[in-house]
Amino acid sequence: MLRSADKLKGLVITATDGAIGEIDDLYFDDEKWTMRYLVVNAGMWLSSRKVLISPISITRVNEPTYQVFVNLTKDQVKNSPDIDTRMPVSRQHETAFMDYYGYPYYWGGPYLWGSAAFPATLAMPPAVESQIAAAAIARDRETALHPDRHLRGVDEVRGYHIKANDGEIGHVDDFIVDDEDWAIRFIVIKTGGWLSGRKTLVTPQLIKGISWNESEMLVDLSRDQIANSPEYDESAMLSDVVARIRRDSAAPS
């Protein structure tokens, strides 16, 4: 199901033995355009510490009840590695996190999640010691082959200027995520000011890159193409909006 990243914020992460906290942000990588972690404010029971939750552990998203269910216990989350969510998450932080939970590294393999197309596939039962040792060797090899790369938070990128091929037009407003594989399907662009303006969607395939220093997202379209693309209406059902936009975009001019 397609979901707004902005509307995922504030949902409660519910472990097998109780609530952990609320989603505060989401981290994505701009190579495969996939949400890799939920940043969760664990509240007073962990002294307001923020922790990472991987989509690998998610079993169900129930937006009407404001809950995301995970197959973890509160103790597992409590004892997970400390990661400073105020700083970009490095590959070293990720390996510590993945090793703690026994997850395979997503950056090694041909699919969106390394050896699997969907993160839920990687949530396997605990392995025996020989399997753990073999997996550790494989992960070390994968890390050596794939150099350090920083992840970025949705909150950081929201508001970045949109730079088309012929100049600036609008800013990043939101991301549309598929909660089955957690891929980013669309970036929501707002072509006016913060308090007004028209919203439209572009696919990650049209993103040429992100300039972190300039706070810009570079889009391989003209200003007119973005301005004249089908409008994104947040009040409508997201699936209906996407279907209409795809239909309108495919129609001959």
Which tens digits make up the pLDDT trace of 6-50? 999 999 999 999 999 999 999 999 889 999 999 999 887 888 789
Q: What is the mean pLDDT of residues 158-184?
A: 95
Q: What is the pLDDT of residue 90?
A: 80
CATH code: domain 158-250 is: 3.90.50.10
Pick the CATH number of 2-152 from 3.50.50.60, 2.30.30.240, 3.30.1330.60, 3.20.20.210: 2.30.30.240
In this chain, the answer to whether the domains covering 2-152 and 158-250 adopt an identical fold is: no
CA nearest to 73, candidates 13, 14, 15: 15
Q: What is the mean pLDDT of residues 216-232?
A: 93
Q: How far apart are CA 89 and CA 150, in angstroms?
A: 6
Extents of the domains making up the chain: 2-152, 158-250
Which tens digits make up the pLDDT trace of 143-164? 555 545 568 899 999 999 999 9
Q: What is the pLDDT of residue 123?
A: 80
Q: What is the pLDDT of the chain when averaged over all its residues?
A: 85
Q: How far is CA 87 from CA 71, 115, 128, in A?
A: 27, 28, 35
Total-model pTM: 0.85
Q: Is residue 83 predicted with pLDDT exceeding 70?
A: yes
Residue 212's pLDDT band, with cuts at 50, 70 and 90, is: confident
Please, how many CA atoms are within 13 Å of residue 253, restricted to the half-sphere of its CB? Answer: 5
With a pLDDT cut of 90, the percent of the chain lying above it is 56
Q: Is residue 125 predicted with pLDDT exceeding 70?
A: no
